[in-house]
Amino acid sequence: MRSFAQFIHEQLNLPGNMADIRDICEGTDRYSMFKVGPVLSISHGMGVPSISIMLHELIKLLYHARCRDVIIFRIGTSGGVGLSAGTVVITDKAVDSFFRPQFEQVVLGKVIVRSTELDEDVAQELLQYSSELPDIPTVIGNTMCTHDFYEGQGRLDGALCSFSTEEKWEYLRKASEAGVRNIEMESTVFAAMCRVCNLKAAVVCVTLLNRFEGDQISTPHDVLLEYQQRPQCLVAHFIKKRLALIS
């Protein structure tokens, strides 16, 4: 997130030296946070428990700092479902492993079900801006959030595998039919928490591979780095538009 903060610093033409941007949370190893102008850039670790702790703390911070008109983006990586590597997916609905647009949280031994719908206007605006950027193929679709990278995402190459190759294809086919275009590990709790707290939110993730073509990410490192910059470029473009820095 330091590099995103530095990128935003340059994109917004902010005063001061980029090298001086400090990690506000450097006293803890839980996550990193950088503030550049009106933008906070925060890491969230991997998986639902990790991002949900960060979101609780961030949302309290935003409340006490009396921040207004906040939009929260999760930018990151994912596995594509029928999309070639390098495609940016703006999430329509975040869905669970059963393709349901909901997040289940166990509270005091009871299951609370929360909706994972994201802000439609922000998603459409992002899609519109993507057409202004060269070489960033972008779609809107559902994003499946799993609690595991290997078996949970139908991978055959983990330390454990409890299903056949044919069952894997069937699951990915069903996901695709349910509108799933990519798979990652944080979007449902992110969408649910932002929605309950009345915060506009969007999930913008690039696909690192097409899961119909394999499980391993074998793309060269420099190409992956370029792919990972795509959601950052799109969100930076959105921020510049919203701040009326570009027309």
Ligand X SMILES: O=P(O)(O)O[C@H]1O[C@H](CO)[C@@H](O)[C@H]1O
In terms of Cα–Cα distance, which of 35, 139, 29, 122 is closest to 80? 139
Task: Kindly tell me the burial class for residue 16, based on how many C-beta atoms sit within 10 Å of its own C-beta (0-12, 13-18, 19 or more).
Answer: exposed
Partner interacting with residue 186 (select from ligand X, ligand URA, none; CB below 5-8 Å by kind): ligand X
Where helices occur in 12-164 by DSSP H, the ranges are 48-64, 120-130
Task: Kindly tell me the burial class for residue 177, based on how many C-beta atoms sit within 10 Å of its own C-beta (0-12, 13-18, 19 or more).
Answer: exposed
Residue of the chain from 78, 87, 187, 228 that contacts ligand URA (CB under 6 A)? 78
- Report the C-alpha gap between 14 and 11 in whole angstroms: 8
Partner interacting with residue 46 (select from ligand URA, ligand X, none; CB below 5-8 Å by kind): ligand X
Has 2 been labeled as part of a binding site? no
Residue 80 bridge partners (DSSP): 182, 210
Q: What secondary structure does DSSP assign to 170-220, as a single string?
A: HHHHHHHHTTEEEEESSHHHHHHHHHHTT-EEEEEEEEEEETTT-SS--S-
Distance in Å, CB of 79 to ligand URA, minimum? 2
Nearer to ligand X, 119 or 184 (CB): 184
Partner interacting with residue 208 (select from ligand URA, ligand X, none; CB below 5-8 Å by kind): ligand URA
Q: Which two tokens stand for residue 115?
A: 């909706």
Distance in Å, CB of 146 to ligand X, minimum? 9
Interface with ligand URA in residues 121-150 (CB under 6 A): 149
**Binding-site string for ligand URA from residue 174 to residue 213, where x marks contact by CB under 6 A and - marks none:** ---------xxx----------------------x-----
In the complex, which residue's CB is closest to ligand X?
76
In the complex, which residue's CB is closest to ligand URA?
79
Has 239 been labeled as part of a binding site? no
Site size toward ligand URA, by CB under 6 A: 9
What's the one-letter identity of residue 30?
A: R
Q: Which two tokens stand for residue 126?
A: 């992002």
**Binding-site string for ligand URA from residue 18 to residue 57, where x marks contact by CB under 6 A and - marks none:** ----------------------------------------
- Report the C-alpha gap between 139 and 107 in whole angstroms: 35
Partner interacting with residue 153 (select from ligand URA, ligand X, none; CB below 5-8 Å by kind): ligand URA
Has 28 been labeled as part of a binding site? no
Has 77 been labeled as part of a binding site? yes
Task: Kindly tell me the burial class for residue 164, based on how many C-beta atoms sit within 10 Å of its own C-beta (0-12, 13-18, 19 or more).
Answer: exposed
Residue stretches of the annotated binding site for phosphate: 30, 74-77
Binding-site entries for substrate: 153, 155
Contact set with ligand URA (CB under 6 A): 77-79, 149, 153, 183-185, 208
